[in-house]
Structure formats: C-alpha cells, structure tokens
Amino acid sequence: MAPILLNSMGNEHSDYIQQEEYVKNPHLDSMEEDILYHFNLGTKTHDLPQMFGDVKVCNPNRMRSFAQFIHEELELPGNIADIRDICEGTDRYSMYKVGPVLSISHGMGVPSISIMLHELIKLLYHARCRDVIIFRIGTSGGVGLPAGTVVITDKAVDSFFRPQFEQVVLGKVIIRSTELDEDVAQELLQYSSELPDTPTVIGNTMCTHDFYEGQGRLDGALCSFSTEEKLEYLRKASEAGVRNIEMESTVFAAMCRVCNLKAAVVCVTLLNRFEGDQISTPHDVLLEYQQRPQCLVAHFIKKRLGLI
Ligand code: R2B
Ligand code: URA
C-alpha cells in the first residue's frame, strides 16, 4: 500500500504520514498483531481482507433482521438461515455480512458505540476497504414530530445543542465536530419520497447520556424538574433545530468525521416528547416504525449498487 498524506478535513494528525485513510493512529503501524477484542477477531487469527475486503456499507444496529432483509432486497444467492453471527464467540456485539453490507450491533449509549467504532474502523483498515458509507439506523424520541417520522440527522448536537462531541483524553477535553455527510443526507431525503409510509425530515439530533433525566423525562426513578421545565427545555431544543433525541449520534458523527468515513444517522421517532415520555405504542406498530429507517437505507444501497 502506498502511503498517503491525509487531508486536513477533520484530521487531528495531519502532520504525519498514515498508511491508510480510515484510522488515525500512528501506533497501529508498529503493532505486530491487532486483536479486535470485542469482536473476537484479530489480524493474526483471521484473514480480514478476505473476510471483509469487499465491504462498502456498514450499518450498526438491528443487525440480524437487517442483514436478512438486505439479503432479500439485494437478491443475493444462498439461504438467509445460513447468515451467521461473525462475533458469535463474544456476547458484546453481533456482526453479519451479506454481500458488501456489514451490519453490527452497537448497544446503548456513547461508550458502547464508541468501543464498537474503534474496532470497526480498524477492521476496515486491516481489510483495506475503500469508499465505505456507514449508517446508524435506530429509534429516537421526536421533538414536535408525530411518532413514526424518520429523521435524517443534519448535525448531531449535545445536551447544550452544540454540534460537538467532548472526549476526555489523558485528563484533557478534546472537542470534535459532529457534522455528517450532507450529500448522503440529501440523497436519503430524496429517496424517502419514493417509499410508501415513510414521512421523513432532515433535522438536528440531540444525543444524551441518559434515557430518563438526560432526555427530560418525568418518568424515571429520579426526576429533579417540573413538567413546565421539561417542556421549556424541549421548546429550546426545537428552536435550536433539534427534531429527535437519541443516545449515540454525537460520538458516531465525530469518529466517522475524523476518520474520513462518509456517515449518516437515520432514526425513526417512537413518540412525540411534547406529548409524553412513556413508549406506549403497541409493539407491532413499533416494529413497523423500526423498519422505516431500514427500508430507506436498503433503498439507498440498492440505488448506489445500481440495482434499481
Ligand atoms: C435509542 O434508543 C435507545 C434507548 O432506548 C438508545 O440506544 C437510542 O439511541
Ligand atoms: N430512544 C431514545 O433515546 N429516546 C426515546 O425517546 C426513544 C428512543
């Protein structure tokens, strides 16, 4: 592999030569072996280029059903029952590969998805993948939107509505930008109009470190604020362009941006947070809602692969 000089966009280490474009860590080159502990994979134990070299799409979460769905949508050969969990040796994450699409679970919250992303980005590097697009598909609480709306994230913002992610490194705070790929977002929005029952908007997504108090819920084990204070906060979020709330988007956007990975966040809203906190929608309706981001991303993949 010819060494390449990284460009400066979102790159914190533009002053050294890196062998590949996705990882941003000079120490990796001097490691004899890289064990991707949470995936139960490693560079000495697995032929990562052979296993993953053709990957073009990564899709964290709701992975098994999405992998089966993609298998059908792409009309790939073989039986969907044979699609196996590549990480079955560990109970941390699950990973399925169908054709060029890799689907991985990421758990709940920033620490969980961040560990997964470190190892996924290294996996893409070791496997020498190119031109990968990565999607987070999932669920969220809507801010002034009816349940079932798909939100494509413009900017992922923190609890203060800032488009940034703060990472503490060696006792110091590093601030990383959380802007996502604008072209992918626009393309997704355009394709959403071609799908039935997929009301879709582009807006900011607020990422919190807690589902209850952190998202202004009144129904947790603890609550230190009034109904009026909750609604005031949601109104301020809405004024800042926030259309939904979830728990992973800032670190996802920040890490992908630093590593030059094209990324998008596509989450369906399960409720309108101005109307309540409990998720009381019937299970079958929730399942149908959760398929909406999957269908939209599948449609995008089929378009990109020239299948439709
Ligand atoms: C959305 O849903 C989960 C919490 O229920 C969390 O992972 C998220 O971001
Ligand atoms: N996921 C969240 O993080 N918040 C919600 O309100 C719903 C799903």
CA-246 nearest atom, ligand 2: 3
The percentage of the chain sitting over the pLDDT mark of 70, rounded to a whole number, equals: 93
User: Which one, of 105, 128, 109, lies nearest residue 23 by Cα?
Assistant: 128
Question: Cα(first)–Cα(last) distance of the chain, in Å?
Answer: 34
| Phi–psi pair at 294, nearest 5 degrees | -60, -45
Residue 248 Cβ inside 6 Å of ligand 1? The answer reads yes
**pTM of the entire structure?**
0.91
Residue 274 Cβ inside 6 Å of ligand 2? The answer reads no
CA–centroid distance, residue 70 to ligand 2 (Å): 25
| Phi–psi pair at 267, nearest 5 degrees | -125, 140
Residue 270 Cβ inside 6 Å of ligand 2? The answer reads yes
Condensed to tens digits (0 to 9), the pLDDT of residues 178-236 reads 999 999 999 999 999 999 999 999 999 999 999 999 999 999 999 999 999 999 999 99
Q: What is the pLDDT of residue 62?
A: 66
CA–centroid distance, residue 161 to ligand 1 (Å): 18
CA-61 nearest atom, ligand 1: 7
Query: What sign has the CA pseudo-torsion 70, 257, 204, 187?
Result: negative
CA–centroid distance, residue 147 to ligand 1 (Å): 15
Question: What value of ipTM does the predicted structure carry?
Answer: 0.99
Residue 246 Cβ inside 6 Å of ligand 1? The answer reads yes
CA–centroid distance, residue 109 to ligand 1 (Å): 7
Q: Which residue shows structure tokens 């990565």?
A: 134
Q: What is the pLDDT of residue 66?
A: 87
- For 114, the 3-state DSSP assignment is helix
**pLDDT at residue 19 greater than cutoff 90:** no
The percentage of the chain sitting over the pLDDT mark of 90, rounded to a whole number, equals: 86
- Rounded Cα–Cα distance for residues 149 and 145 (Å): 7
Residue 211 Cβ inside 6 Å of ligand 2? The answer reads yes
pLDDT, mean of residues 86-94: 92
Rg (CA), the chain: 19
Q: What is the pLDDT of residue 5?
A: 21
